[in-house]
Structure 1
């Protein structure tokens, strides 16, 4: 209540209930004005896809509440703030009192629920990133942080990628360190999960693999041709023996 009134204020209210025996009376202030959720134009004004600007009123671990007009608040989930930045808490993006432009994602008048999104005001850049970061492509990346599992990498266009520990090994056997900017190769790309996995080790280790594969392929091909010719030779000798036996049988009958 302290956000709305202070002790000593004179306000107008509507009587909601009256209990003479208990000498109790409940009052309401919002009942003096029309409930904005019951307005006939609610479905049109806040139709899915419509764009609005509101004021950030509250921050939570899962998102923020945005006031579009008095009595109309909507929720912006933390995952709907940015296409590219991995935001753990909305305080990393906005603060209470900031204005934020949003698009309506879902409207449920009966349950007074309004889902909003900020990133939806722009096209999904991951549709383009799919062609920029295909598997096998090489990019200059800076190591931002490291842990036991691997390292977070800073890619072009403000994106983040990840490399496991085994893919941080350099050609001389040492490990890539935080702050270093080196070439990495994309080993996995997921547009739906917004995940890019890379490897520095693949920059020098995979170059020797094609030659080995080619040698193995030739070896397999040679052994295959040898093994395939053997049955043919046996088959031919067997046919000759059968013909000889048949000839002998025919001559014996004569």
Structure 2
């Protein structure tokens, strides 16, 4: 009998190509050159490699490419790989990186928006380091920078149309053309609305019109505005609300220094704490008003700080200033009924009429020395007192308990009291002093 032997030939997956091949079905039936890298006669095994030949071929091609590669040169290549930061281009034995920022003058989120693996491209060599064999490529440099003529094309005042491509806390970016974006700052979106975030007015993908406010080609910046497409409602504000105009509004905010009243949508006026009341001592506006309260006020003045108006309002001006009549209604020497509001170490604050207050110093409590005013009078008591001073400039009224007592005693002595005997202010004072004076031991 005659024996026969069949030799087995093997091509390992990692030796098929320069890069790992996941699916070998595409190579079935195709003819390629291989190199025998291992041959075992005893076992009849043969190991082939296509990669060795490709590496040799690539090395020769690389040498040729590097000899002619220069910065500024336009070259052709094939997209070999895509990453988040760019695309690797096979230039012939050597790869170059086309960074994502050099793909387009416009906005590119991912290289796959422009390229696919295997695409043939023409690019420009930006940098070439022969020592590290690193090549930086550019595609957008094949075209003119759109910012070159932007200033002539988009002067301030130009109305442009573009797509919203990005939203930030501070505004929205609008693509006017490929490679040129403008910013609509949040403050330029509405004359009156309080826009907390651009997403309240715009969405990515929206096509909008805007006005060019400013352009700086050196910084590649264009400032845009939407509100400028509409008339400025503040322009006629002074004519609409001249000083003395009575307005109604809602208290929108309360601060230490006053309250903000919304007289129109987006237009607030400030009532300073000093303009809340002619007579009341207001430590904080919250003593009188709360958010949401509806109030009437008088327009005092309107000034402009830039585009935004400063509207000054007054509430106390809704009524006549009582101090115009107080010096006549309460002359020095007049005896009045007053209500004790607050008692302090130095005296007592009393109310003569609603909103009109005065001070009775502790020295005016009695002819005798009073050590503790709080033991002498209590808040809520109504007693008589004499007006002893009126200062219109300082808006202060001084009163005296003891002056009223003297006046009462004089009136009694002259026989002006009539009717059944009643407890006088002098009686009350004497009883208070008697209670405070220690009794002498007999």
TM-score range with shorter-chain normalisation?
Answer: 0.5 to 0.7
Greater strand fraction, Structure 1 or Structure 2? 2
Alpha-carbon separation, structure 2, partners of 1:37 and 1:64: 20
Task: Report the 3-state secondary structure (helix = DSSP H, G, I; strand = E; otherwise coil) of the residue aligned with 2:187.
Answer: helix
Q: Choose which of 127, 131, 141 in structure 2 pairs with 1:17.
A: 127
Q: Note the C-alpha offset of 1:52.
A: 1.0
Alpha-carbon separation, structure 2, partners of 1:211 and 1:150: 25
Deviates more, 1:81-90 or 1:113-122: 81-90
Task: Report the 3-state secondary structure (helix = DSSP H, G, I; strand = E; otherwise coil) of the residue aligned with 1:202.
Answer: helix
- Contact 1:168-1:176 at 8 Å conserved across structures: no
1:46 and 2:178 aligned: no
Task: Report the 3-state secondary structure (helix = DSSP H, G, I; strand = E; otherwise coil) of the residue aligned with 1:107.
Answer: strand
Matching of residues 115-126 of structure 1 within 5 Å? 115-126=223-234
Alpha-carbon separation, structure 2, partners of 1:20 and 1:136: 81
- Contact 2:193-2:265 at 8 Å conserved across structures: no
1:155 and 2:268 aligned: no
The normalised TM-score by structure 2 is 0.41
What stretches of structure 1 of length at least 5 have no aligned partner?
Answer: 216-254
Change (3 A) 1:27 1:194: same
Change (3 A) 1:187 1:89: farther
Match of 2:139 in 1: 29
Matching of residues 1-254 of structure 1 within 5 Å? 1=85, 3-6=109-112, 9-10=116-117, 12=121, 13-39=123-149, 42-87=150-195, 89-168=197-276, 175-192=288-305, 193-204=308-319, 207-208=320-321, 211-212=324-325
Task: Report the 3-state secondary structure (helix = DSSP H, G, I; strand = E; otherwise coil) of the residue aligned with 1:100.
Answer: strand
- Residues 180-210 of structure 1: CA deviation (Å, up to 9, x unaligned): 2121112231134422122223222xx1369
Q: Quote the RMSD (CA, aligned, Å).
A: 3.4
* Count of aligned pairs between the two proteins: 211
The normalised TM-score by structure 1 is 0.67
- Contact 1:170-1:176 at 8 Å conserved across structures: no
- Contact 2:194-2:266 at 8 Å conserved across structures: no
- Contact 2:278-2:322 at 8 Å conserved across structures: no
Task: Report the 3-state secondary structure (helix = DSSP H, G, I; strand = E; otherwise coil) of the residue aligned with 2:318.
Answer: helix
- Contact 1:169-1:175 at 8 Å conserved across structures: no
Alpha-carbon separation, structure 1, partners of 2:155 and 2:300: 41
What stretches of structure 2 of length at least 5 have no aligned partner?
Answer: 1-84, 86-107, 329-442
Q: Note the C-alpha offset of 1:103.
A: 0.9
Q: Note the C-alpha offset of 1:51.
A: 0.3
Name which structure has the greater RCO, CA cutoff 8 Å, separation 6+: 1
Greater helix fraction, Structure 1 or Structure 2? 1
- Contact 1:59-1:90 at 8 Å conserved across structures: yes
In terms of Rg, which structure is larger? Answer: 2
